Amino acid sequence: MNWSERAIGDQSGRTFVVTGANSGLGLRVARVLGEHGARILLACRSESRGAQAVRQVPGGELVRLDVAELPSVRSAAGEIRERTGDRLDGLVNNAGITWPPLRRTTEGFESTFATNHLGHAALTWLLMAALRGAEAARVVHVGSIAARGGGLDLADPNYQRRPYRAYTAYMQSKQANLLFALELDRRLRAAGETVRSVAAHPGMTRTELFPNATRSGGPRATALLRALNPLIAQSVESGALPLLRAVTAGDGGEYYGPSGPMEIRGGTGRARIPHSAANPETARRLWDLTAELTGVAPDPAG
């Protein structure tokens, strides 16, 4: 039997943070959790778009967060801890970008790696005290089928020496998400923690993420992908199900996604973890590099 929203149950008294919650998958996850009684902190870069989203989410509140900028991550984490009284039941690291031209953050990081991995890793570590304040809290890392492509270069993650390729940068960031999720789970278990680290991906979903990503390729590429998107991708409602399962019922160290061919669409099940993303040594090196680049102390520290 396919997992569905009916399995979520009452979420009254629980508090969740969803990054990138002003549209698409993030908004859908926030809305469903809110409809089930939860308090939802929508962590959004745009205050105006975030304010519009909050009006669509029962129990919704806005938190200003630009996950690509570490000062914003630190500020948002402090605000979240204060507003929740250090009790947070779930964190959904959903915000992301796909194939932008080469851009650098104020810290000098390549923007896709900074947005999709570094900022979320830092936010997770900074919120760990609040996650410990709830019973069996979950951190959900949103992956992608693109993680199978590899591309992670720990010697040059910010494209300071190698030629920049937008899609390779995206694959790298998504593999980093999965490596980090599994490494966090290993460390939480080793420390005897009750917080769970879970990964999920939406397959191919009809959001604006990929059509918007083709803008650098010109209007024809954008128009083509907009035309193909409804034909090959599933609805936002279906794409959000693996994320909702992960944050409400996910087991630590698991990876959820669509169960259809190539995990592009279909009912929610356990997704295949690419061999390269399951390498503990690579995950350990990424963990250490992430701490070095962000300047945030890893938690758990061991």
User: CA-CA distance, 14 to 141, in Å (whole number)?
Assistant: 19
* pLDDT at residue 176 greater than cutoff 90: yes
Other Cβ atoms less than 10 A from the Cβ of 33: the count is: 28
pLDDT digits (tens, 9 = 90+) for 24-71: 999 999 999 999 999 999 999 999 999 999 999 999 999 999 999 999
pLDDT for res 226: 53
Instruction: Give per-residue pLDDT as tens, 86-127.
Output: 999 999 999 999 989 999 999 999 999 999 999 999 999 999
| Residues classed as catalytic | 170
Question: How does pLDDT run across 258-282, given as a tens digit for each residue?
Answer: 998 888 988 999 999 999 899 999 9
Is the peptide bond prior to 261 cis by the omega test (within 30 degrees of 0)?
A: no
Pair 260, 201: CB distance under 8 Å: no
Q: Give 148's pLDDT tier (boundaries 50, 70, 90).
A: confident
DSSP assignment string, 247-258: HHHPPTT-EEEE
Q: Tell me what the pLDDT averaged over the chain comes to.
A: 92
Helix, strand, or coil (residue 141): strand
Mean pLDDT confidence for 69-81: 98
d(CA 162, CA 267): 39
CA nearest to 172, candidates 141, 207, 200, 144? 144
pLDDT above 90 (res 286): yes
DSSP E strands, the chain: 15-19, 39-44, 60-64, 90-93, 138-142, 196-200, 255-258, 268-270
